[in-house]
Amino acid sequence: MMATDEFKQQRDLRGLFEFNMTGKELDAYVKNQVAQYREQAKVFGLAK
């Protein structure tokens, strides 16, 4: 689905960038990003 011209057209229409990650790869990416944001929040005193 993400490789179709229609999907690309809809993505471009909304000003989104290409990000074709799914499944376990996406899950690991999101968990890593959340951990990094959590650490940054602690460094800046925004979270404990």
Residue 1: its pLDDT value, please? Answer: 86
- 18 and 11 in contact (C-beta within 8 Å)? yes
CA dist 42 and 28 (Å) reads: 21
CA dist 43 and 48 (Å) reads: 9
Residue 27: its pLDDT value, please? Answer: 98
> What's the pLDDT tens digit per position in 21-48?
999 999 999 999 999 999 999 999 998 8
Residue 47: its pLDDT value, please? Answer: 87
CA dist 22 and 10 (Å) reads: 18
Alpha-carbon dihedral of residues 35, 38, 39, 41, nearest 10 degrees? 160
- Residue ranges of the domains in the chain? 21-48
* Residue 13 in this model has a pLDDT that exceeds 90: yes
Predicted TM-score (pTM) of this structure: 0.71
